[in-house]
């Protein structure tokens, strides 16, 4: 998913192109930023920015440990399809 340079909203999605590699499955309720980035096809920094802005539900487990809700990732993907 590409982001426009001005804001963190998804760029226009071309018909017939998949947002993610559907061969991957999110098996846990909470995933690491790297796992979320790999699943969404964006960078880890983008995932962290989306968490900071509230686009993804996340939880801090310590000083540097962050986990993202798999349900919020799926919800964001469904919203992007529409």
Helix (H, G, I), strand (E, B) or coil at 28: coil
Instruction: Give me the mean pLDDT over the 1-26 stretch.
Output: 46
**30 phi and psi angles, rounded to 5 deg:** -125, 135
Q: Which long-range contacts (CB under 8 A, 24 or more apart) does 20-24 make?
A: 20/77
d(Cα 64, Cα 75) in Å, to the nearest integer?
25
How confident is the model over 16-43, as pLDDT tens digits? 444 445 455 666 789 999 999 999 999 9
pLDDT score for 4: 41
Ordered by start, the domain boundaries in the chain are 30-81
Structure tokens at 12: 């226009």
What does the mean pLDDT of the chain come to?
77
Structure tokens at 60: 């801090």
């Amino acid at each position: 998913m590409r982001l426009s340079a001005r804001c963190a909203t998804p760029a226009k999605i071309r018909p017939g192109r998949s947002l993610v590699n559907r061969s991957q499955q999110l098996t846990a309720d909470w995933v690491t930023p790297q796992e979320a980035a790999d699943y969404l096809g964006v960078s880890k920094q983008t995932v962290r920015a989306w968490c900071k802005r509230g686009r993804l539900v996340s939880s801090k487990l310590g000083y540097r440990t962050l986990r993202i809700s798999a349900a919020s990732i799926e919800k964001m993907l469904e919203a992007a399809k529409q």
